[in-house]
Structures are given as structure tokens and as C-alpha cells.
Amino acid sequence: MIVYNDILETIGNTPIVKVNKLPEEGKRKNIFVKLECFNPGRSVKDRIALNIIDQAEKENLLSNRSVIVESSSGNTGIGLSMVSRVRDYPNVIVIDQNCPAEKIKILKALGATIVMLTTDKKDSEDLTERRIEFVNEVKKTMENIFIPNQYENRNAPIAHYLNTGEEIVRFMEETGIRFDAIFLSVGTGGTITGVSKKIKEYDSSIKIIGVEPEGSTLFGGEKGSYLQQGPGNYFKPKNLVYDHIDQGIKVSDQDAFNMCRKFALKEGVLVGGSSGGVLYTAVEMSRQFEGNILCILPDGGEKYLDSIYSDEWLRNNGITLDKENENPIQILNIDGVKDYSVLVNCIKEEVFGNEHSRAI
């Protein structure tokens, strides 16, 4: 049994799991997922948070008086807050009004100082650039500030080149399972840039497919609003290098969120919106590939219980939930009830259907 010196040593080496029930008939392929929710901060961003701080310490960019300040939609902020607590740095995370409530609660629990930027404009408008502008202004007026800058810091893609990409290569070598294509969510560019470079060095025939929300402009198109948190941007981050990306695909909130719900009900795994977008795209494109497909799923779904996994939130945001993905709560009033058989039959009918429930 391994004894870890601190929680940061558990980052990485996330599992690759075969998907068994998700692909529909006619689209059935060997689809695998790399579950980044197994990182201690529950997302792929733990990897870059650790590597950026590690390298900053080696380059003497941090002192015991340094304050770490970063713009984040949530997951990078959580990763940096975790690293900051272990390494004894105060940290400030600049979020905006689109940040899910669960992520804010986690940031608070981890001791980050939280600054939320708000606007009267449409909630789903991406505010990343405004957050970055604010952080840069902070740097002008405060001393001993270190800004990780996940959008430009070269140590973000390097983390994925040395670790995430290497783990995939090692998996293929050790299992003999080769991937024809790898699907990745694209936002800051760190994951796809680092992974694609490593994979193409190993086998240039493996296709790298980037996935972004409809409304994001990383692969061109018109700027628009979207609800997926984490993927996408209205500007091209310096860490996004297209050299090893074979194709960029856009996915709607409708399709991404329905896939999240479907994946939970069929495979028993809660994932976030970016993961839903990657999964949806992989299933839709699966017939283009003869062999195995890998999806890198950036985070888990526990941070989206009040949004993606809330029927009311979906309705309020114009998302129609497919009937097969609904799972309403069965509410039974027991006031004055002596015989529970009628109420039990309600459960039988809901779970097994009218015909089968009579035989239960």
C-alpha cells in the first residue's frame, strides 16, 4: 500500500474505463473514457495547478509573501486553492456570475478569497476576457502577486504532455488497446495542446478531435451565448496550438446536457457539461472510426447538481430534457394512510410498468 505525503501526490493516473451501454444501435463502438474526476479536486485542472506552482517555485517566482491570483470558471480555482493550502500561499480566485454555486461553495471551503464579477447582460455570455482584464489590473496595484495565467502559461500544456498524454500512451502500450481517435474538450487549450503533441509523437495516425460549445469561436463561427462551464472562449488563448488537432467540432448545450443525464442513467457516472459535449460528439462520430475511441472527461457532475442535473434549471434555461433522461421524484403523501399497498403499487408501476407490476 502506498502512503502519500500530501493530497497533491494523488493527482494524475486517472482511470480509463470502457463505456458499455451508452452507444446506440448502429453507432456501437468501443468507446473508453478517461475520468479526470478521480483527481482530488475532481477535475483535470488539478494537473495544471500543481505543475504551474511547482515550476514557479523552481524558478523563484514565488516567495513566502506571495499571493496567487487567478481568473477561473471554477475548476482551475479549486485546483489552485488546494495547492495553495498545502504550500501555504494565500490565494484569490476571480470568478463571474456564471460560475455554478457548487464550485463557489468548494472554493469557500478551501479557503480561497473569492471575487465575483457581475454584469446586467445575459447570464450565459462568456466573461472570461473581463475576468482576465480585472486580474491584470490587480497585478498593477498589488505587490507580491503571482498570476498562474492558465491561458498562456506554458507549464499548463506541459503538464498534459508529461502526464495526461503519457498516461494514455502507457495505457495503450500495457493493454494493447489502440485508440483510433481521442476526443477532448477545448477551452484554455492546455489539455488538447499537451495531449495532442504527446499522442502525435507516439502515433501520428491517431485523430485528435477538439470539442467546444456552440457560440464559442475557438474553431471559428459566430460568437454566441452558451451555458457549458469551462469549455469554449471568444478569444484564442496562447496555450491553444492547432498543429496536432485534426478537427474541431461544436456541440449545443441541449445535446451536451442531455448526454450528461444519459451517461449518469446508463453508466452510473456523473460528469460535467464539457464531458457531456465530448461524449455526445464521440458517439455521433463513432461510425467514422473502425477501432477504439477515447474521450477525456474533464470533471465530475457533483458541481452541477443545481444546474445540469436540475430539471427546473434546464427548463428555465430553455433546455428540453429527453424523455428517457427524466427521473422525477415520486412524492407520496402518507397522512391518514393505514394501508400502504396502494402507494407501493404506485412505485411498482413507475419502476416496472403496468404489465409487469401485477406480477411483482
The string of pLDDT tens digits covering residues 117-175 is 999 876 567 888 999 999 999 989 988 999 999 999 999 999 999 999 999 999 999 99
How large is the average pLDDT for residues 231-252?
96
Distances (CA, A) of 232 to 59, 73, 117, 285: 31, 11, 19, 20
Domain identity same for 23 and 73? no
CATH number of the domain to which 260 belongs: 3.40.50.1100
pLDDT at 353 over 80: no
- Regarding whether 269 and 158 lie in a shared domain, the answer is yes
Asked if residue 346 and residue 213 are part of one domain, the reply reads no
Respond yes or no: is residue 45 known to be catalytic: yes
**Strands across the sheet with 31-35, in order?**
16-18, 31-35, 292-297, 179-185, 207-213, 247-251
For the chain, the domain total comes to 3
CA dist 74 and 81 (Å) reads: 10
**Between 123 and 211, whose confidence is greater?**
211
pLDDT tens for each residue of 16-54? 999 998 876 555 679 999 999 999 999 999 999 999 999
Q: What is the pTM of this model?
A: 0.92
Instruction: Give yes or no: residues 176 and 32 share one domain.
Output: yes
pLDDT tens-place string over residues 73-113? 899 999 999 999 999 999 999 999 989 999 999 999 999 99
Task: Report how far residue 214's alpha carbon sits from residue 248's, in angstroms, rounded to the nearest whole number.
Answer: 11
Q: Which strand (E) or helix (H) includes residue 135? A: helix 128-141
What domain range is 339 assigned to?
329-360
Report pLDDT for 210.
98
* Rounded (10°) angle between helices 45-58 and 75-87: 40
What residue type is assigned to position 12 of the chain?
Answer: G
Of the candidates 103, 106, 71, the residue with the CA atom closest to the CA atom of residue 85: 106
Domain end (from 95, 113, 146)? 146
At 236, is the secondary structure helix, strand, or coil?
Answer: coil
* Residue of 29, 34, 45, 303 marked active site: 45
Q: What is the CA angle 295-298-303, rounded to 5?
A: 135
In terms of domains, do 23 and 74 share one?
A: no
